[in-house]
Structure 1
Amino acid sequence: MMPQVPVLLAAASDGGHTGIDLLLPEGYDIFWSAVVVVLVAVAMYRWVLPNITKILDERTEKIEGGLAKAEHAQAEASAALAEYHRQLSDARAEAARIRDEARAEGATIVADARGRATDDAARILENAQRQIEAERTQAAVALRAEVGALATELASRIVGEALADQARQSRVIDRFLDDLEASAAGKES
């Protein structure tokens, strides 16, 4: 509590100010304080405030320019996206068309291959039938000659005379084979 007493004593010895006067400054202090505030305010208004305003305006312009660029970039991106989607749908349509053409071409190739295979099979079958017919005819001729020789020899033994005459031998063989064929045909029907 001691320190307060000297302050009060100093205040009391200051010229008799008491109460609210202790808080109010002297008139000359208010005047010079007002002069300094006005000088600082003028300096602030004259030099500092224009620079601050200029800096703020530049920042506003940069921000607005950035926003305009961003909007422009957004518009370009939207246009590019729309173009991309259009190209993608075109590419899908083209791929579907190519796929359909390939299927049609594949079906044509398969049909052509089947046709050629059918033609080749028919030709091979026809050649095989001709070859079988030729071999059958050749076998019949060879069999006829062999059977004829055996029949002639058998007939010669049975009859007891030689059938060396070619014309007679041919007639006997033909008659024998005709009888064989007739009997075979009679058995089939």
Structure 2
Amino acid sequence: MVKLDKIYTRGGDTGETSLGDGTRVAKSSLRVTAYGEVDEANAVLGLARLHATPASDTLLARIQNDLFDLGADLCVPIEEAPKYPPLRITQAQVDWLEAQMDRLNADLAPLNSFILPGGTPAAAFLHQARTVVRRAERATVHLLASPHEAVNRLVLVYLNRLSDLLFVLSRVENGQGAGDVLWAPAANRDG
């Protein structure tokens, strides 16, 4: 159980922070960068929820909770015999994302063009969240490539699926794709 009775600790005043296992690391570390990007994505989803339909809001609420799980996963390096069982992203969470994407995408017309971020406010924020999730995914790839870091690989899979789901959900929020803003290649080349 988390208990926060004091918000500031002064522990980070020197540019370091504590991971979930108590290890002190630089705030610029790959691990802190990765879960910081996840935190930013979660904040953008909060903005999207302000404009989302009730059905989308329900999905996004669950995703926000899962992103806290994912941040907790990244915050605790994998160890052989942990003192306490850490929170880890599971295949079931990835499977849920895929099921939602398949269900929502079934009612959307196929695309014949790339989509520009925009349309409704909810769709625009979902596109922004998608790009932040992609940034979190890239940060996680860097973390996974580090020889001294142990990371749950399902974190990367979850982020990859989530960015795809957010794309589909943006189309749903754009009137089932009717309000998508389509890219017009080379539309402005000739002045």
Bucket of the pairwise TM-score, normalised by the shorter protein: under 0.3
Structure number with higher helix proportion: 1
**TM-score w.r.t. structure 1 length?**
0.18
Structure number with higher strand proportion: 2
**TM-score w.r.t. structure 2 length?**
0.18
Name which one, 1 or 2, has greater alpha-carbon Rg: 1
